[in-house]
Each structure stands twice: as C-alpha cells, then as structure tokens.
Structure 1
Amino acid sequence: MSASTETSEIADFYKNKSVFITGATGFIGKQLVEKLVRSCPDVEHIYLLIRPKRGHDVADRLRELLSSTLFDLVRSTNPNFEQKIIAVQGDILDPNFGLNASDESTLIENCHIVFHSAATVRFHEPLRLAIQMNVASVKKLLVLCHKMKKLQSVVHVSTAYANCNRNDIAEMVYPPPIQPSKLLDASEWMDDQVFDVLTTKLINDRPNTYTFTKALAEYVISQEGNDLPLAIIRPSIVGSSWREPMPGWIDNYNGPSGMIVATSKGMLRTMLGSLSSIADIVPVDVCVNMMIAVGWYTAIKNSKTIPVYHCCTGHLGSLTWSNITKIGLRHLDTICMENAITFPHLTLTPNRFRYHYQRFSQEVFPAFLLDCYMRLIGRKPIFLRLCDKIYKSVRTLNFFTMRSWTFPLDNSISLRNEMTDTDQKTFNFDVKDLDWTQYWYNYCLGAKQYLLREDLAHMSKCRQRNQRLKRIQNLLWYTAVGLIIKMIFFRSVRIHRMILIPLRFIFSILSIIAKKFSLNTK
C-alpha cells in the first residue's frame, strides 16, 4: 500500500475509544485535545477533568476552552467536534479528584486511554503544595486507573529536567533521595512554615520544587503502577507550536514566551546565561504528537516495564541561548509590540557582577525614573513592581541558561521506527527539519497575536515608535558620554573630586548588591 493511500494505524487505534485527560486547560492539554479531535476524528469521547475557577463553572470553562482560536482549523473541518468533548468536574487536590459517583463510574466503565498532564508548573511553588499537586495526584490517578475496566494505556507527562542534578540523563526512572511516601505523609499534617524551612535541604542539588516533585512522581509510578500499561514522556522546555494547528500558537508566559514579551516591551535588557549552553526547547505540537503516539504504542506493545521517552531538541546542537538572543532580537526589530517603553535589546552574560550592574543601570534605574514620572502626572507607579516581577521570573531560568544536559533518545527513535510513513507525517515528532530562524519568527509573531492579542494591523505604528525610542536613547547616550568626556578633561580639581566621589560610592554600592544577589541566585 502506498503512503498516499495508507491509513493511519494510530488514528485507527483511537477509533471508538474514550480518552481521559487531566490538565486539559493547560498549555499542553489544550493542544492535546485539539490534535486528538482533528487527527483522530473517530475517537468516541474525550473526558476532561476541569475544576470551577473564579466564579466560572466547568461548563463555562469548557466553552471558553473550545472557543479559542486554537480550534479554528478543526472547527472548519468538523463543526460538531465539541459533542465528543465532555467536562468532568474535579480537582487534583481533592480526594479521588473530587469526582462524583456518576462521573467516576463513567470513567471506570468507558475509559481506554489516560493522559495525565495536570501539575503545577511554577518552579518555586511551596514544597507542600507542589507535593500535593505533582505527587499525591499521581497516586490518586493510579488508584483510579486500577479500577478502569477497559484501560489500554496511561501516559504521564513529566519533564526532562526531573533529574537535572545529573548531566547525562538516561530514559529511565531514577530512585529519589527520599521516599515519596514519607513526604506525602508529612504533607498531610505538617504546616507550610515547617516545609518551607526544610525545602532547601530536601531538594538538595535540584534547583526548585518543580523538578524535585516531578522526580518523586516518576518514582511513585514505577513502584505503584508497574502492573498498568504505563509510559512516561519527558518534554524539555515547551515552546510555541511549530506547525500545528498554526505556527507560533502560545497562550502562557512561561519560559521563552515571557522572555520574548518582556524583551519586546523593553523591560528585560540582560540575563544570566552561558553563551554556549544548549537551549533545549521543544515545540508544543511535537510534544503532543509524541504523547498520542506513545499512547498507541503502550497499548499495542504491552511492555512489562515502564518506558520513558525523552521529547527534546538538544541533540541537534544548533540552538544555544546566545543564538536565541541574536535571532530573537533580529525578529523583534520588525515584529514590534505595542506600548514598549524602549526598543528591544537583550544581553546574555555568564558574569554575575556584569549582570547585576547591567540590570541596575538598564532596568532598575530606568524603571525608577519612569515611576517618578508617573507620580508627577498623578498616576500609580508600576514600573519598579514590573521590573521586580520580571527579575523573579527570569531568575528561575538561571539554572537552565547556565548549563547543558544530554538527553538520549533511544526509546523515542524506536517509537518513530515502529510508526508507518503516514503516522510519521500525521503525528510527526522528528525535529531534524526544524528551521530555528523561522520558528523564532513565528514564536515572536505568535506572542504578539495570540498571547498579547495585539492587532497586527498596528505593526507599522509600533515600528515607528521603536525607531523613535531608539533615536531618543542614542541621543541621551551620546549626550551623557560627551558630558563625561568634557568633565574628565576639565582642569578643575574640584570638579574631578565632585565626579570621583559619587562614582566611587556608586561602584561600592553596586559591588555590595552584586555580592548579595550572587548569594541569593546560587
């Protein structure tokens, strides 16, 4: 049978099957739902675990989810796709996910495939809450899965950085430094303050509670789910879509997305990072395609072990954090955002003193001046607060921008080799053809269009504004340099002293700040 007429084995597998998804309102979860209804149109039902939020019930949240532009393509080809998607009210923090008897019975009787992507993705979530969301939820899921009568596969979404305390990370589950059961028991009675005190000692050589608890969750799965058809997928840093359903789709500020927005608005000017460190960023559609393929392969292979699949791009070796900075700035020179306070510029440096000096001079001090102006015109100052918020967000990336890891892809390659030519195209997760320059162009454009929801028709005005801001900054810079040169060569000893004394004071203060921040960021 030729590839052009060959049917999709994966789509056939999902035909008349019911799928249960946790985390469906998250970035990966939304893409997973869209891809399933578009490429597996004969799927029976897709049950989504959704909790009420901010006064909106689950029906409202489901309508909001499905009305997204993400579903425009499938809406044009299959207007009735929404009938297959059913919201199930629940919360991963509640016992048994908070499922009522009817919904639990429906899942037990009808569910064939489970995708568990619900988790807190906040890097520095308080440890007690991170354990409850990322570890206890896995135990609850395993209990539910053991009851399911038609279960064929369970796919757990972890992270490639669960074991980032190692340099070479194999496709296997590593034993944690402490038994998860002990922490789970403690999280039931120990208060947050005690956990906060113990956090640094417990996570030890991992950078945050997120990676620590994801590693614990993997171990729980290996110990309590080895009699289930389970698989673990480990994406690296998940970025905007590459191709599906449209290039550059993004809906959150995590990771590179926040960098793009903050840089484009002129608020982020410098970052800590090694110029040669690999930026292991994987498009969300690549991740979702692999998840669906893993769900299929786990069912048909019936493995006696729990396979782990890395979903990464670092093996290409073509994208460093330095390259991201250069490529991104080139695109942000033409893809300009509205209401930028200055033109985009971002410097990556591994030197902590240089970083803190640049941050003070290019981010903190200008934000202070803008807040002074806001007060003068009778408006609420916001820029120092925004500056601090961006700093805290970017600081969580320091551990990853300063290092590189090796993620073998043996299982992922084996999975792709088991797929037909049709499925390799329909559920493509091979990134060898990924053009990073074009990808980052679409990423920047997607951040403007889908994340910030700015009108692309206003692009020319934004470019004109950026050019004006660049001319103003250049004028101020050359004026300041001219004044300094004039003062340096001025013959008055009194003027020399007037200049040198405050300069020495400023540099001493900067040295103290740099040392303080250096200790805090280690």
Structure 2
Amino acid sequence: MSASTEVSAIAEFFKRKSIFITGATGFIGKQLVEKLIRSCPDLEHIYLLVRPKRGRAVSERLKELLSSPLFNVARAANPNFESKILALQGDILDPNLGLNAHDEQTLIENCHIVFHSAATVRFHEPLRLAVQMNVASVVKILALCHKMKKLQSVVHVSTAYANCNRNNVSEMIYPPPIQPSKLLDACEWMDDQVLDALTNKLISDRPNTYTFTKALAEYVVSQDAKELPLAIIRPSIVGCTWREPMPGWVDNYNGATGIIVAASKGLLRTMIGSGQAMADIIPVDICVNMMIAVAWHTAIKHPKTIPVYHCCTGHLGSLTWGKITEIGLGHLEHISMENAISYPHLQFTENRFRYFYLRFVREILPAFVLDGYMRLIGRKPMFIKICDKIYKNVRTIDFFTLHSWIFPIDNGILLQGEMSDFDRQAFNFDVSDLDWSQYWHIYCLGTKQYLLREDLAHMPKCRKRNIRLRRLHNFLWFGLVAVIAKLVLFRSIKFHRILIVFLRLTLSTLSAITAKLGFYRK
C-alpha cells in the first residue's frame, strides 16, 4: 500500500470513540486535544474536565482554550472541529470529580479512552494540597473508570522523576515510601501545621512534594487498576513543541522556559548546577504522540501487567546543562527579547558560596541600583522583588540541575516496533534525530513569539539594545577593576596576593563544611 493511500491504524482505532481528558487546560493537555482533533478527525467526542476559574464559566474557558494559535492548523483543516469538544464542569479536588449526575452518566455510557494528566506541577506545594491533587484525584479517576461500560484504554501521566531517589530508574512501579491510604487518611484529620512540620520527614530522600506524591499515585494505580486496561507514561522535563502543530509553541514558564525568559531579560545570571549533569528535556509534541500511541496499544494488546513508558531524551547523552547555556545563549544573542536590563548570560556552579557571591554581584546589586533609579524618577521599585521571585523559583530545581539519571526506554522501542511505518511518522516519538541546537533556536523563538507575545519585527532593535548593554557592562567592569587596581594592587601587590589566596581557601573550606552538614538543603 502506498504512503498516499495507507490508513493509520491509530486513527482508525480512535474512529467513533469518545475520550475523557483531565488537565486539558494544562500544557500537555492542550497539545493532546489539538493532536487528537487534527490526526484523528473521525473521533466521536472529546470530553474535558474543566473547572470555573476567577469568575470565568466553563464555557468561557473552553472558548479561550480553542481560540489559541495552537489550534490554527486544526481549524484550517476542519473549521467545525469545536463541535466535537465538550467541557464538563468539575474539579479533581471535589468528591466524584465535581461531576453532576448527568455528566457522570454520559461518561459511564459513552467513554472509551481516558487520559489523566491533571496534577499540580508546583514542586513545593503544601503536602495536603499535593496529596489531594496528585494522589486522591487518581483514586477518584480510577473509581469512575471502573464504572465505564465501553472503556478500552486509560493513560496515566506520571513523571520520570517520581523515583528520583534512584540513579537508574526502570520502567516499573516501585514500592511506595509510605502507604498512600495511610497518608490519605491522615490528610482527612491532621491540621496543616502538623502536616507541614512532618513534610520533610515524610518525603525523606525525595526533593519535594511533587515527586513524592507522583510516586504514591503510581502505587495507587498498581493497586486500584489491576483489572483496568491502563498504562503509565513518565515524561521528563517537558519543553516546547519540536514540530507539531508549529515549532516552538509554549504557553507557560515551567522548566527550561522560565530559565530562557529570565536569562534573556538579564534577570537570571547564575544558578546552582553541574554543567556536566544531563538535562533531560522532551518536546511536548513527542510526549503527546507517545500518549496516543500508548492508548492505542493498551487497547489492542490488553497487557496483563501495567506497562510503564519513559518519555525522555537522556539516553541520547547529548544535552547537559552546560551545553544549554552554551547553545541557548548563542541563540539569545540573535533572538533578543524586549526590555532586557542586561545582555543574556548564565553560569552554573556547584559551589554554593560562589553561587551566592555571583548572585549578589550579578543580580542583587544591579536590581538594587535599578530600584534606586525607579525611586528617583517617581516610579514604584520592582527589580528586587522580581529578583527574589526568580531566586525562589530556580532554587526549586537545584536537585535536578545537580544530578543525572538513567531512564531506559525499552518499552517505547517495543511500542515503535508494533506501529506501522505510517503511524511512526504520524505519531512520531522517536527523538534520535533531534538536533539540540536547532531545537533551542526554535525554543527561544517560540518563547518570544507565543509566550511573551513580542513582535518579531522588533528583533533588530532588541539586538542593538543588547550590544549597548554589553558595552555598558564591560565599561563598568573595567572601570571597577581600574579603581581597585589603583587603591590596592599598585600599593601592595604582596598584600593583594595574600588576600586572594586567603579568600579562596576560606570559600572552599566553608563550602565543603556546609555541603557536608547540609545547611542549604531545602
């Protein structure tokens, strides 16, 4: 059969099927809805669990979702695609997901496939809320799935870092750090103050409540979904689209995107991390393609045990945090952002005292000076506040920029072998030919265009601004060096050398002591 007439087995499977998606207003969820509508046009309905937010009704939020530029390609192919997408009012925090009796019955009678991607992705969410959103919601979803009369496949979206307390993570469900049922019960009667006090003890060797609760959720799945056609997918750090439906689409500041924005504006100039540590970033369209393929395969193969799929790029061994700064900053020289306060620069260091010194000199002092200027011209100071907010955000990912993990992708390779050549192209999740320099160019451009919504026609002006800012930085730096040389170096070279040696020894000693005692562990 020629490529032009070949039929997609996956698209055929989704024909006349109804799908239920949680987390559809999130980054992965939006991309999933778009891909299904575009590549499986004969599906029956897509039901989205949507909650009212900030005074906006569910219908209004759905309209806003579907008006996104993300759906332009799908809209051009099928202007009436919106009729297939229905919003059901609900909330994963509410009993029975907040569904009314009619909507629940609709799902029970008509739903064939479920994608559960709703979760809190805030790393340091208070434990009670993290448990409610990431663990209790899974219990509710599975209870609903057990009632569905036509259910053929369930895909639970976890994270590759659910077991980040291990260096080599297999595609399996590990025993939980604590019985989820006990923690769920405790959250029913224990007050917030006690839970917060116990959090560090409970999460133990995991860095935050996010990875901890995602691990518990997987165990809940292993216990409550034994009779369901269910699979787990574990994406790593999800980045912008690589190819579909347009390169570079991104709509949030999570993960690497926030680093790009803060560094491009000159607000973030140093981070704790190892330049040699692997940066496992996966394009969101790759993740979604695998989710759809996993749903199809689970339905047609009926696996006896719950399969786990890693959706990662670390096995390529070609992207480190050091390389990100190298190629990323190179692209930001040309894809300059508007209203930058300094030229793009970012440096990783494993030495915590060096980090605090560099942050003080490169971030806090300039922010203090700029706030002083804002006061002089009668405007409200804001840069110290922004600097503090960025600091809190980047410190939450220290653990991930300092360490590397091995995530085997054996199940993904087996899944590709089960797919036709046509479907391997239509629902591609092979990243072997991913060019990181090209992807980072796409990422920087997409961040500017889709997230910051800056006019690409203004880039020449932005480049000139960055050149002026670099010259100003160099002028001030050399001026400072000249002043120090005049006051210290020329008066006493011997004293200067002794002082430098003493400071280096002091910083190294203090860093070693604090690292050993864990003073900076969050």
The answer, yes or no, to whether TM exceeds 0.5 is yes
- Partners in 2 of 1:372 and 1:517 — Cα distance? 38
Query: CA 1:399–1:507 in 2, change beyond 3 Å: closer, same or farther?
Result: closer
The alignment status of 1:40 with 2:40, answered yes or no, reads yes
Equivalent position of 1:103 in the other structure: 103
Q: Is the 8 A contact 1:282 1:312 kept in 2?
A: yes
**One-letter amino acid of the structure 1 residue matched with residue 205 of structure 2:** D
- Partners in 1 of 2:516 and 2:480 — Cα distance? 29
Q: Is the 8 A contact 2:119 2:134 kept in 1?
A: yes
After superposition, the C-alpha distances for 1:357-383 in whole angstroms (9 at most, x for unaligned) are 101110111111111111222211111
- Partners in 1 of 2:125 and 2:79 — Cα distance? 40
Equivalent position of 2:66 in the other structure: 66
- Partners in 1 of 2:491 and 2:150 — Cα distance? 89
The alignment status of 1:401 with 2:438, answered yes or no, reads no
Equivalent position of 1:348 in the other structure: 348
Query: CA 1:284–1:511 in 2, change beyond 3 Å: closer, same or farther?
Result: closer
The alignment status of 1:235 with 2:231, answered yes or no, reads no
- Partners in 1 of 2:160 and 2:59 — Cα distance? 34
Equivalent position of 1:190 in the other structure: 190
After superposition, the C-alpha distances for 1:468-492 in whole angstroms (9 at most, x for unaligned) are 1111111111111111111124549
**One-letter amino acid of the structure 2 residue matched with residue 112 of structure 1:** H
The alignment status of 1:421 with 2:421, answered yes or no, reads yes
The alignment status of 1:28 with 2:28, answered yes or no, reads yes
The alignment status of 1:200 with 2:174, answered yes or no, reads no
Equivalent position of 1:160 in the other structure: 160
- Partners in 2 of 1:379 and 1:239 — Cα distance? 36
| Structure 1 residue runs without a partner (length 5+) | none
Per-residue deviation, 1:191:
1.5
- Partners in 2 of 1:492 and 1:411 — Cα distance? 66
The alignment status of 1:410 with 2:404, answered yes or no, reads no
3-state SS in 1 of match to 2:108: helix
- Partners in 1 of 2:157 and 2:507 — Cα distance? 47
- Partners in 1 of 2:187 and 2:290 — Cα distance? 33
- Partners in 1 of 2:516 and 2:467 — Cα distance? 37
**One-letter amino acid of the structure 2 residue matched with residue 8 of structure 1:** S
Equivalent position of 1:318 in the other structure: 318
Q: Is the 8 A contact 2:240 2:250 kept in 1?
A: yes
Equivalent position of 1:210 in the other structure: 210
Per-residue deviation, 1:3:
3.5
**One-letter amino acid of the structure 2 residue matched with residue 182 of structure 1:** K
**One-letter amino acid of the structure 2 residue matched with residue 145 of structure 1:** C
Equivalent position of 2:481 in the other structure: 481
Per-residue deviation, 1:244:
0.3
Per-residue deviation, 1:2:
3.2
The alignment status of 1:447 with 2:427, answered yes or no, reads no
| Structure 2 residue runs without a partner (length 5+) | none
Equivalent position of 1:434 in the other structure: 434
3-state SS in 1 of match to 2:20: strand
Correspondences of 1:246-257 after superposition (within 5 Å): 246-257=246-257
Per-residue deviation, 1:518:
6.8
Per-residue deviation, 1:4:
3.6
- Partners in 2 of 1:264 and 1:192 — Cα distance? 38
Q: Is the 8 A contact 2:177 2:216 kept in 1?
A: no
Equivalent position of 1:133 in the other structure: 133
Per-residue deviation, 1:516:
13
- Partners in 2 of 1:516 and 1:391 — Cα distance? 23
3-state SS in 2 of match to 1:48: strand
- Partners in 1 of 2:507 and 2:22 — Cα distance? 52
Equivalent position of 2:276 in the other structure: 276
Per-residue deviation, 1:411:
0.8
Q: Is the 8 A contact 1:145 1:151 kept in 2?
A: yes
Equivalent position of 1:327 in the other structure: 327
After superposition, the C-alpha distances for 1:444-466 in whole angstroms (9 at most, x for unaligned) are 00110111111111111111111
Q: Is the 8 A contact 1:139 1:220 kept in 2?
A: yes
How many residue pairs get aligned? The number is 515
After superposition, the C-alpha distances for 1:333-361 in whole angstroms (9 at most, x for unaligned) are 01011110010000111111211110111
Q: Is the 8 A contact 1:395 1:521 kept in 2?
A: no
- Partners in 2 of 1:112 and 1:97 — Cα distance? 18
Per-residue deviation, 1:521:
3.6
Percent identity of equivalent pairs: 73
**One-letter amino acid of the structure 1 residue matched with residue 69 of structure 2:** T
Is the deviation greater in 281-290 or in 343-352?
Answer: 343-352
**One-letter amino acid of the structure 1 residue matched with residue 30 of structure 2:** K
Equivalent position of 2:226 in the other structure: 226
| Regions of 4+ moved over 6 Å | 514-518
Q: Is the 8 A contact 1:352 1:518 kept in 2?
A: no
**One-letter amino acid of the structure 2 residue matched with residue 519 of structure 1:** F
3-state SS in 2 of match to 1:161: helix
- Partners in 1 of 2:376 and 2:63 — Cα distance? 44
3-state SS in 2 of match to 1:162: helix
Q: Is the 8 A contact 2:351 2:511 kept in 1?
A: no
TM-score by length of 2: 0.95
3-state SS in 2 of match to 1:53: coil
Equivalent position of 2:519 in the other structure: 519
